[in-house]
Structure 1
Amino acid sequence: MNRCRNWRAAAAIAVAVSSWTGASALSQHKHVSDEELLNLLKDAAPASVFAGATVLNMAPDGTMKVVREGNNGWTCMDPSGTDPMCADAGGMEWGKAYMTKGPAPQRLGFIYMLRGDNGASNTDPYATGETPDNNWIKTGSHVMIVGAEAKSMIQSYPRSPKADPTKPYVMWAGTPYEHLMLPVK
């Protein structure tokens, strides 16, 4: 994919991607310096992925800045300020579909969140905070397999609203954005 087009797509996704991880609002984004961001992201994915990834930093006003232009098709960012992640092109495409409430792309995507997440509803993709009935869950170090192409692969994994975050499970089961959560530690 053309680097410029890849960056534009990543920036468009990242403006609102904070909801991927359950962050309540862009205004609550914890801005960090470029140096702090690079330090946070270095453990979000394997070193070989991070080394060649495009790195984006979100300003308090939601604008995106390329901190480092990559060459391996991966994009790393911390859209909520607490949930560093790295996604391949399919993962970024899935994030854009989720953000815009569009159809899940057929393309398979992969997202690393090796530093874990700050929590999200396991049943409501658009929940912005924990409530007594939205099955809030925090998953430690994990990877995500996303995209409509993943649906047949994930059917045999647990789909319970009250998932065990120490074992593989399907998040947002029954929605267009259901995906496989795979804890790695």
Structure 2
Amino acid sequence: MRTRISWRGAIGLAAAGASLVMAGSAAAQSDKLQEALSATWPGMVEGATVVDWEGKVLQEGSNGYTCMPSPPDLAGNAPMCLDEVWLAWAKAWQNEEPFTADRLGIAYMLQGDEGASNIDPYAMQETDDNQWVVEGPHLMVIAPPELLEGMPTDPDNGGPYVMWEGTDYQHIMVPVGARDEPEGD
């Protein structure tokens, strides 16, 4: 389950380009840094900025991507790396403000996620009618709305699909690995 509270501080600081003093144990910082960077491909690791959920900058970067470890209140693993367009999207989503992409943006979640509704951007847990999807390793692509027209919305179609279709937060999910199947399936 995710909470939007965790996103507010980190996304806001990342979007503002905050530079904060490192605090906490070196081992804990190293663990957060490694987890955050596990969201992306090896060629991006060195140049990415890494921010923890308390807003501490763990690594200054120069490639335009900001990576974050899994939210601390999440039981599982869901680190992410966002470009500038995705940071703007995340800030709008977090504050329930309008957002329209004017160009492509790419985000990496190569460790997968703990699940989200495919239809409701603010669902916090699975229900009988919110099409909950626990996605394996994936990319997310933001595009101007007209580029999303005609794309599939079914997360079980075997390829990319539009998540949160028709909302200001719609984006393309691009699976790059197998999903973990729930126990008992």
8 Å Cα contact 1:43/1:114 also seen in 2: yes
Using a 3 Å threshold, how does the CA distance of structure 1 residues 10 and 165 change in structure 2: closer, same or farther?
Answer: farther
Task: Give the aligned partner of residue 158 of structure 1.
Answer: 152
Using a 3 Å threshold, how does the CA distance of structure 1 residues 55 and 165 change in structure 2: closer, same or farther?
Answer: farther
Alpha-carbon distance, 1:165 to partner: 7.0
Alpha-carbon distance, 1:13 to partner: 6.4
Paired residue secondary structure (1:33)? helix
Whichever structure has more helix as a proportion of its residues is 1
Task: Give the aligned partner of residue 18 of structure 1.
Answer: none
159, 162, 165: which is aligned to 1:170? 162
Task: Give the aligned partner of residue 19 of structure 2.
Answer: none
Task: Give the aligned partner of residue 12 of structure 2.
Answer: 12
CA-atom RMSD in angstroms: 2.3
Between the aligned partners of 1:166 and 1:142, the Cα distance in structure 2 is 13
**Amino acid of the structure 1 residue aligned with 2:115:** G
Paired residue secondary structure (2:56)? strand
Task: Give the aligned partner of residue 4 of structure 2.
Answer: none
Alpha-carbon distance, 1:121 to partner: 0.7
8 Å Cα contact 2:164/2:171 also seen in 1: yes
Task: Give the aligned partner of residue 5 of structure 2.
Answer: none
Task: Give the aligned partner of residue 71 of structure 1.
Answer: 62
Paired residue secondary structure (2:141)? strand
8 Å Cα contact 2:10/2:52 also seen in 1: no
Using a 3 Å threshold, how does the CA distance of structure 1 residues 178 and 70 change in structure 2: closer, same or farther?
Answer: same
Between the aligned partners of 2:127 and 2:89, the Cα distance in structure 1 is 26
**Amino acid of the structure 2 residue aligned with 1:164:** D
Between the aligned partners of 1:35 and 1:126, the Cα distance in structure 2 is 31
Using a 3 Å threshold, how does the CA distance of structure 1 residues 38 and 169 change in structure 2: closer, same or farther?
Answer: same
20, 25, 31: which is aligned to 1:36? 31
Using a 3 Å threshold, how does the CA distance of structure 1 residues 54 and 33 change in structure 2: closer, same or farther?
Answer: same
Task: Give the aligned partner of residue 91 of structure 1.
Answer: 86
Task: Give the aligned partner of residue 121 of structure 1.
Answer: 117
**Amino acid of the structure 1 residue aligned with 2:176:** V
**Amino acid of the structure 2 residue aligned with 1:167:** G
Between the aligned partners of 1:42 and 1:34, the Cα distance in structure 2 is 12
Alpha-carbon distance, 1:117 to partner: 0.8
93, 108, 113: which is aligned to 1:112? 108
Gaps of 5+ in 1: 1-8, 15-31
Between the aligned partners of 2:55 and 2:157, the Cα distance in structure 1 is 31
Paired residue secondary structure (1:72)? coil
The two structures have a TM-score, normalised by structure 2, of 0.74
Decide which structure has the larger Cα Rg and report it: 2
Using a 3 Å threshold, how does the CA distance of structure 1 residues 165 and 83 change in structure 2: closer, same or farther?
Answer: farther
Runs of 4+ with >6 A deviation: none
Alpha-carbon distance, 1:156 to partner: 2.5
Gaps of 5+ in 2: 1-8, 15-26, 178-185
Alpha-carbon distance, 1:113 to partner: 0.5
